[in-house]
Amino acid sequence: MSAVPAQRQTLTIVSGFLGSGKTTWLRHQLHAGEFRGAVVLVNEAAAAPVDDALLADLARVIVLPGGCACCDKRSEFLSLLAGLVDEKMRSGEAGGHIVLETSGLADPAALVEAIRSHPMLAHHIVVDEVIVTVDAGCGLANIRTNRLVAKQIEGADRVIVTKMDSVPSAACSALCATIARINPGARLSGAMNGEAMALPPFDPTTAVLPGHSHISEILAVGTADTSLTQPILDFVRTASEERKTPTSKIAARPTKRPSPAAAR
């Protein structure tokens, strides 16, 4: 990681799909003294925030509710960052650290691009790391059925496999192998209740999911099983009345591929 000029603030993005353990992991890091002195931004898709209450006693927390920072709340997110930059400049202090916990429906790569393309923030904020959490229990299924999960992994500098105690070692190895194939350059580690945990051995060349002969099929499948994503979309529609972007843009649901039997 290259050195950051002292006058610029660093931003760490903590992302991951819904229920993957982002808040648990982040709370443990804050409690252990990591990200000391950082301002924590919590973005939630729902209009009524919940996760911020779990972090408020450990850091200064600013909440951005009612939509994803990478799309319909993008302008508000960038304005928040600009406000923090202005606050730091007025204080006369150099540097500083911001930690963003995204909503479970966010694409971290889109957030990085939004900052880098902003005429002011590009000169004052440096994204130092994108951390993505993946649930050991349902990570493989989520990768297979939701393109967003693979995109989150693709955009990560570090991937943390959470809830490792919920699956056998062989299942965790299969997940790690698949993550390593999707993003070979990402650092991979494990965690349980926020604490570091050693990963089992894995071989990226064995990353094959049921029903897919090659990793490229996984990345192209999109959200084939709407039974997994429809409850998520219904929740966002109900809980977030302020949404401006059609929910279908958050998780596109392409038509299922015909089965071999139907094709014949």
CATH of the domain at 29: 3.40.50.300
Q: What percent of the chain has pLDDT over 90?
A: 61
Q: What is the pLDDT of residues 160-192, one digit of tens each?
A: 999 999 999 999 999 999 999 999 999 999 999
Q: What is the pLDDT of residues 106-152, one digit of tens each?
A: 999 999 999 999 999 999 999 999 999 999 999 999 999 999 999 99
pLDDT of residue 49: 58
pLDDT of residue 127: 97
Domain that holds residue 101: 9-255
Most confident of 33-37, 94-98, 133-137, 258-262: 133-137
Domain assignment present for residue 115? The answer is yes
pLDDT of residue 59: 77
- Residue identified by tokens 């903590």 is 14
95/132 Cα distance (integer angstroms): 24
Mean confidence (pLDDT) of the chain: 80
Q: How many separate domains does the chain show?
A: 1
**Token pair of 176 as six digits:** 């790690």
Q: H or E segment at 173?
A: helix 169-182
Domain assignment present for residue 248? The answer is yes
Domain assignment present for residue 4? The answer is no
CA distances to 77, 80, 84, 92 from 96, in Å: 18, 15, 10, 11
Domain assignment present for residue 263? The answer is no
Domain assignment present for residue 1? The answer is no
Handedness of CA 97, 102, 108, 111 (dihedral sign): negative
Residue 243: pLDDT above 90? no
Q: Which residues 6+ apart lie within 8 Å of 211 measured at CB? A: 144
Domain assignment present for residue 226? The answer is yes
Domain assignment present for residue 130? The answer is yes
Q: What percent of the chain has pLDDT over 70?
A: 73
Q: What is the pLDDT of residues 201-239, one digit of tens each?
A: 999 887 855 455 445 555 554 433 334 334 444 443 443
pLDDT of residue 17: 96
Q: Which residues 6+ apart lie within 8 Å of 177 measured at CB? A: 202, 203, 204, 205, 206, 207
